[in-house]
Amino acid sequence: MNKKILIGIIIVFILVIAGGYYFLAQKFPPKQEKRFSGINVIFFPGGAIGDSFATIVYNGAKAAQEDLGANVEYKWSDWDPNKMIEQFKEAIDEKPDAICMMGHPGAEVLGPLINEAERKGIIVTLQNVDLPTVRAQYSAQGMGYAGQNVYASGLALAQGAARKYGLKSGDQALVFGLLSEVGRGDRTKGCVDGFKQAGVTVNYKEITDDVNKSPDSDVAKNFFADALKEFPETKIILIDHGSLTAASPNILKELGKKPGEILVAGFDLSASTVKGIQDGYIGLVSDQQPFLQGYLPILQVVMAKKYNFAGLDIDTGVGLIDSTNVEAVSKLAAEGIR
């Protein structure tokens, strides 16, 4: 074969291979490592798998995990402070880079464990329930907070309900809450204080452990029935529990109540809560945007780990949702974002 022809064939062959590699590189670019890949985080969504509120928190955390590239392990706690404590101890033993923790167990119990984690080089940040005195010690190490000012949000919801329904002296409100939980109970206290400031008579029932863990169960239905039997003059029920708020329309239907027969105010948006508002069973909801309580803590700890950023204190919102503005967020609620 002519030498020139052979060289030409070789050149064409090389160009074809190079072109093929270029095409494949454009069609299938190499996977880029995300900025925070390799950082290990343990995250507490709070409730149980499938819980209406905890699921939205989880959705936010999963979005952060996918966007930022961190490795995230999730610990589901059934809203049980004792379980959270045991899981937090387990989390410390796993030696992650960071833990995103809910403050439900309170500073007295959780504080020493956070001290231990920080001594071992584990960044801790908080979501949903704040521990301000503990956080002040470690804000320079990246401990922040993403969530409501719990007392202020309780106060705002009760005051908003009193205004919306023209509640007055002599009207009776029934508050379902968690006053017994240090820190977390401040939101219930805000609810009670808000009604009292409006001159409303407040009757109170502590949400039991069984109802707290299973708000859509027969236990919860019996809890409602017993409370309404005890306080038959109830004009409005304020529920300081997101998942129990979401379950309340079905519970009231099963108890034979018609929409609006008993006014209901509560916390946190979800698809079920939106439907409850649309159907007239729920009148007013405080939206603390739990998606942000999932996303922002993971953003906080990976930024602190990689860049030594200090803790951020972020109020995720105290907006009130009712029938006048619920349609604007209904699609996002169905998607598990609001």
Dihedral through CA 280, CA 327, CA 268, CA 316, nearest 10? -150
Q: Give the contacts of 224 (CB within 8 A, at least 6 positions apart).
A: 248, 251, 252, 255
Stretch 171-188: mean pLDDT:
95
CA nearest neighbour of 172 among 189, 195, 206, 151: 195
Q: pLDDT over 90 for what percent of the chain? A: 87
For residue 69, give both structure tokens: 């590239």
For residue 187, is it within any domain? yes
The confidence score (pLDDT) of residue 4 equals 60
164 with 256, same domain: the answer is yes
Q: For residue 72, what pLDDT band results from cuts at 50, 70 and 90?
A: very high
Give whole-number Cα distances, 7 to 4, 12, 16, 19, 20, in Å: 5, 9, 14, 18, 20
For residue 7, is it within any domain? no
pTM: 0.84
For residue 221, is it within any domain? yes
Give whole-number Cα distances, 20 to 15, 27, 29, 32, 130, in Å: 8, 10, 13, 21, 56
d(CA 104, CA 110): 9
Does position 16 have pLDDT exceeding 70, yes or no? no
The total number of residues written for the chain in this structure: 338
Q: For residue 143, what pLDDT band results from cuts at 50, 70 and 90?
A: very high
For residue 320, give both structure tokens: 């009130």
Average pLDDT, the chain: 93
133 with 156, same domain: the answer is no
Does position 309 have pLDDT exceeding 60, yes or no? yes
Q: What is the CATH number of the domain that holds 312?
A: 3.40.50.2300
Residue span of the structural domain in which 77 resides = 40-148+289-317
Tens digit of each residue's pLDDT (9 = 90 or more) over 269-289 = 999 999 999 999 999 999 999
265 with 297, same domain: the answer is no
For residue 83, is it within any domain? yes
Count of domains in the chain?
2
Q: For residue 1, what pLDDT band results from cuts at 50, 70 and 90?
A: low
